[in-house]
Amino acid sequence: MQQWDVIVVGAGAAGLFCAIEAAKRGRKTLVLDNGKRIGRKILMSGGGRCNFTNIYASPANYLSQNRHFCKSALSRYTQWDFIALVQQYGIAYHEKTLGQLFCDDSAKDIVEMLQQECDKAGVQIALQQEITTVSYQDGQYQVVTPQLSRQCQSLVIASGGLSLPNLGATAFGYQLAEQFGLKVLPLRAGLVPLTWQPADKAVFEEISGVSLPVTAEANEVLFPEDMLFTHRGLSGPAILQISNYWQPGDELTINLVAGQDLTTLLTELQQQHPAQELKTALSRVLPKRLVEKLLELNVFQNQPLKALNPKSIERLVDSLQHYIFKPNGTEGYRTAEVTLGGVDTDELSSKTMEAKKQPGLYFIGEVVDVTGWLGGYNFQWAWSSGWVAGQYC
Ligand code: FDA
């Protein structure tokens, strides 16, 4: 039986960060992971460049049944703390858009930084470990794999969510929470493309590849970003963001002319080019293939601009500003970036991430019911929650 102070399950962003902090405090710390290498999601994140944080990260960017829970961790280890670490390692980065920070070069830089921090602090890492049972006796956790039994005082669960099952995602963390009597809130795929109803698929798959800036709205939440038509449905940042707020059966309201003053444009064009066709005028503000599709769907009738009047312009603008889609569902965990729901935050201390009714058991990162928007917020939660747990475990 090997004896450890701390065992962390999951060598992702949260687990590694927690282990580094625990080991810095002199705790004998081991990280167990079922994969062949550490930080696999970090490596593939942000298109290989890892959107590692967001300069605007604040509790308002997170979904959770208890919206206050994330405040403590986010304020104790902030985006500025992580940026300082990245700078200390000389990793070049840039702001892409909306405060999203990406590596200039490769996500590998972040993983190498974490590996070096682990080495410096003395964290041990064991890969390709399949945990068969976990039990608790006399203030110690027994963590058993086919090869070995290990014992620890503090057990930290950082096993992530269900997205990308082919990358090692398992329900381990949720099952372990339930084993110890902790409530797990319903899980669903988040930051995920939405799929067509069969009838819409037949109509819209022809324009797959078309992308445009929109605002996407569901349940009174609104995101202004780009939307992409795909063979399967709708994607792009605006859709991934709104997918966190969309529930099956809900409608999605899309402003196809977001940020454009279409009323003024059409009124001016009407005066300058009265014989111009409406579809030509609309092609100035919308992708041509989408305009053709909207015409086919009778969203507007093609006619010379001179045939329009203020009322018909108003009606047209309104229909383009409030275009309704009723998605069938989501693409699910196969393509989702995150899992919504998870270990109920009521079960955990927001200061330490320790389970209130199970001493020495901690949950951090995505396995907890805290989910960020798209844009570096989820990694920031992993760093922040990992860091705070590392101060106590
Ligand atoms: P994470 O999933 O990273 O790590 C969990 C680890 O536990 C994994 O290594 C897994 O193999 C291991 N594990 C699972 N079950 C186990 C078991 N039974 N035994 C042992 N080990 C087990 N976020 C962001 O902020 N910016 C971005 O650019 C992106 N980009 C992005 C792209 C893609 C394609 C995805 C899928 C996700 C993102 N994300 C993101 C989200 C981000 O990757 C995610 O929120 C964090 O990785 C969560 O960190 P965790 O450490 O909690 O889990």
> Are 228 and 172 within one domain?
no
Residue identifier of the C-alpha nearest atom 31 of ligand 1: 45
Question: Which of 312, 330, 348 corresponds to the end of one domain?
Answer: 330
Q: How much is the pLDDT for 324?
A: 97
Query: How many Å apart are CA 172 and CA 188, to the nearest integer?
Result: 16
Pocket-testing residue among 378, 381, 383, 384, ligand 1, by greatest number of atoms within 8 A of Cβ: 378
Residue identifier of the C-alpha nearest atom 24 of ligand 1: 376
> Are 88 and 143 within one domain?
yes
- In this structure, the residues whose C-beta lies within 6 A of any atom of ligand 1 are 9-15, 32-35, 40-41, 44-46, 50-51, 129, 131, 158-160, 163-164, 168-170, 172, 337-338, 365-366, 376-379, 382
> Are 121 and 249 within one domain?
no
Question: Which of 330, 362, 380 corresponds to the end of one domain?
Answer: 330
> Are 326 and 342 within one domain?
no
> Are 321 and 346 within one domain?
no
Q: How much is the pLDDT for 202?
A: 94
Q: How much is the pLDDT for 166?
A: 86
Domain CATH code at residue 295:
2.40.30.10
Please list the residues that pair with 229 across neighbouring strands: 234
**pLDDT tens profile 298-337:** 999 999 999 999 999 999 999 999 999 999 999 999 999 9
Query: Does the reported pTM lie above 0.95?
Result: yes
What is the extent of the structural domain holding 48? 2-189+338-390
Pocket-testing residue among 41, 101, 334, 388, ligand 1, by greatest number of atoms within 8 A of Cβ: 41
Domain CATH code at residue 80:
3.50.50.60
> Are 12 and 101 within one domain?
yes
> Are 277 and 379 within one domain?
no
* pLDDT string in tens for the chain (393-residue length): 899 999 999 999 999 999 999 999 999 999 999 999 999 999 999 999 999 999 999 999 999 999 999 999 999 999 999 999 999 999 999 999 999 999 999 999 999 999 999 999 999 999 999 999 999 999 999 999 999 999 999 999 999 999 988 888 999 999 999 999 999 999 999 999 999 999 999 999 999 999 999 999 999 999 999 999 999 999 999 999 999 999 999 999 999 999 999 999 999 999 999 999 999 999 999 999 999 999 999 999 999 999 999 999 999 999 999 999 999 999 999 999 999 999 999 999 999 999 999 999 999 999 999 999 999 999 999 999 999 999 999
Q: How much is the pLDDT for 211?
A: 98
> Are 177 and 199 within one domain?
no
> Are 118 and 207 within one domain?
no
Question: How many CA atoms lie less than 13 Å away from 127 in the CB half-sphere?
Answer: 10
Max Cα-Cα span within the chain: 86
> Are 302 and 324 within one domain?
yes
Query: How many Å apart are CA 234 and CA 242, to the nearest integer?
Result: 11
Under a CB-based contact definition with an 8 Å cutoff, are residues 365 and 17 in contact?
no
> Are 17 and 89 within one domain?
yes
Going from the Cα of 161 to the center of ligand 1, the distance in angstroms, rounded, reads 7
**Count of domains forming the chain:** 2
Q: What is the DSSP letter of 373?
A: P
- The b-or-e profile of 225-261 (16+ CB within 10 A means b, else e) is bebbbbebbbbbbbbbbbbbbbeeeeebbbbbbbebe
> Are 29 and 164 within one domain?
yes
